[in-house]
Amino acid sequence: MFLTATAISAEAAQAAAAAAPRMDPLHHFQVIRYVEIAPFGLDLFSISNSVLWMWISVAAVFAFFRYAMRQPALVPGRLQSIAEAAYLFIRGIVDENIGHGGKPFFPMVFSLFFFVLFCNWTGLIPASFTATSQLIVTATLALGIFFLSIFLGFYKHGLKFLGFFVPSGLPVLLLPLMVPIEIISFLARPVSLSVRLFANMTAGHTVLGVLFFFSATLPWIGSWLPFGFSVVFTAVEIFIGFIQAYIFTILTCVYINDSLHLHH
Amino acid sequence: MISSAYAAAEGHAQSSGLPQFESSVFGSQMFWTVVSFFVLMYLLNRYVIPAINDILDSRSKKIGEDIQHAERARQDAERLLANYRDQIERARQLTATTLDEARIEAAAIREQALAELNEELSKKKASAVEEIERMRVQAMEEIREAAVELAMLATEKLIAKTVTKPKAESMVKEALDHMEQNRVGMRH
């Protein structure tokens, strides 16, 4: 009797697990290939949802600025003012963090900020995909910045750039300890840069996913709470999307500045 | 029952791990991240950034020009103001000198008028004195003539008849009356 009951309940549990809505807040991080382009077995050009939303972000940034600046007027309209404010905002970041010699990097920093910002923001559209929640995407950007800063350092200062790892004003005895620490912290830069953005986006969207799941599956008497939270949290995510793009951009400028001016 | 369903779901999720660590999609995402980023950078650098640059530059140029214009206008206004102040000052000085001259002139005219008046008055006085003198002389002459006449009359009477004392007295009285009459008549 007892045995059969447990057997039935186990079967029932399995059936329930199959039938019940499955909570999988990580599901929407799943990269799905739409078009597979893999010449010579190298899956390099496949177009996935991640790639598609990257493109949409790029198109949105360009469309916004192109539309805002379609007829630049001396007395700006609303959109033109926003575009100019965005431009001046990035120029402020570049001037503050790179300063002298920062001008050539302005287009890159400007594009980087809006690429990351719009990838963060388009991810909040229902049924969209957040490209910046993919570690490989943020890592690609971070590694690009990392190698750029190394290249700039050697290009500008030659072998003197290695002095970057030797903090000035330290007793010689401490150098064997400090130099490896400096090197490790330098190598950690792309890791922290990419993981920070990816983790923020992933965490935020996971929380949103959980909240949406509960507001969709709980009976009405309980669903308003997670639903309300999800509304508030979406606003928070918009803010976090901006803040993370800002931090990403500022750190990029700081790294470029270190390579240009060797501050240690 | 539901919790065990969730447990099963969780187990499923855990078995696959974070989808972000599925390395089979790394290559294409890396490639397209790089391409997307550079395409965006190219587009912005080609179409957007120069436009914003231009408009900001031309605006700052315009503002600079406006400030220069304003500065020039201010200088002009200051010059004009100084000019007007100068003119007002000159007009004030002119008024002051004119007023002074007028005062001096008025004083001179008054002096002259006073002198003329004095002269006329003294002339009138002199003529009045002369007239009085003349009248006095004339009166004296008349008195003298009357006295002579009286004397002659008295003498004539004395010579013509002997007079008694009352007669003489009446005669003298008559003579005096006569003279008085004459005098009165002369005065009139």
What pLDDT was estimated at residue A146? 94
Bridge-based pairing of strands A47-48 and A33-35 is antiparallel
Cβ atoms of A24 and B11 within 8 Å: the answer is no
Inter-chain residue contact B25 with A20, CB threshold 8 Å: no
> Could you give the number of structural domains in chain A?
1
Chain A contact for B46, CB < 8 A? Answer: no
Indicate whether A6 belongs to any domain. Answer: no
Could you tell me which residues are beta bridge partners of residue A33?
A: A48
Domain assignment of residue A201, yes or no? yes
Asked, for residue A7, whether it belongs to a domain, the answer is: no
Q: Do A23 and B62 touch (CB under 8 A)?
A: no
CB pair distance less than 8 Å for A61 and B40: yes
Nearest neighbour of B33 by CB, restricted to A13, A20, A137: A137
Residue A250's pLDDT is 94
Kindly tell me if the per-residue pLDDT of A108 is higher than 90: yes
A152 is a domain residue: yes
Q: Domain of A176?
A: 21-261
Q: Is the pLDDT assigned to residue B157 strictly greater than 90?
A: no
Smallest CA–CA distance, residue B64 to chain A, in Å, is: 13
Give SS3 for B1: coil
Give percent of chain A with pLDDT exceeding 90.
Answer: 40
Radius of gyration in angstroms for the set of CA atoms belonging to chain A, rounded to a whole number? 24
Query: A57 to each of A52, A63, A92, B40, B57, how far by Cα in Å?
Result: 9, 10, 23, 9, 29
Tell me the shortest Cα–Cα distance from A174 to chain B, in angstroms.
Answer: 39
Question: Is residue B4 over pLDDT 70?
Answer: no
Residues of A with CB below 8 A from B60's CB? Answer: none
Burial zone of B33 (CB within 10 Å; 0-12 exposed, 13-18 middle, 19+ buried): buried
For B57-70, write each residue's pLDDT tens digit: 999 999 999 999 99
pLDDT of residue A190: 92
Residue A220 lies in a domain: yes
> In terms of CA atoms, which chain B residue is nearest residue A46?
B28
Residue A35 forms beta bridges with which residues? A47
Tell me if chain A has a CB within 8 Å of the CB of B132. no
B87, B92, B95, B101 alpha-carbon torsion, rounded to 10° = -110
Which residues lie across from A48 on neighbouring strands? A33
Does A1 fall in a domain?
no
Q: Which residues of A touch B8 (CB under 8 A)?
A: 13-14, 17
Beta partners for A47? A35
Query: Taking residues A139-162, what's their average pLDDT?
Result: 89
Instruction: Please tell me which residue of chain A has the smallest CA distance to B18.
Output: A26
Which of A96-100, A187-191, A222-226, B175-179 is the least confident region?
B175-179
Instruction: Give domain status of residue A93, yes or no.
Output: yes
**Structural domain contains residue A214:** yes
pLDDT given at position A233 = 92
From chain B, pick out residues whose CB is under 8 angstroms from the CB of A141: 33, 37
DSSP letters, chain A, are -HHHHHHHHHHHHHHHHHHSPP--TTGGG---EEE---GGG---S-EEHHHHHHHHHHHHHHHHHHHHTSS--SS--HHHHHHHHHHHHHHHHHHHHT-TT-GGGHHHHHHHHHHHHHHHHHTTSTT---GGGSHHHHHHHHHHHHHHHHHHHHHHHGGGGGGGGS-TT--GGGHHHHHHHHHHHHHHHHHHHHHHHHHHHHHHHHHHHHHHHHHHHS-HHHHHHHHHHHHHHHHHHHHHHHHHHHHHHHHHHHHHHHHHH---
Mean pLDDT of A65-88: 88
| Closest CA in chain B for residue A67 | B48
Split at pLDDT 50, 70, 90, the class of B5 is very low
Mutate to test the interface with B, among A110, A117, A132, A197 (most CBs of B within 10 A): A110
Residue B12 confidence (pLDDT) above 60: no
Q: Is B63 on the interface with A (CB under 8 A)?
A: no
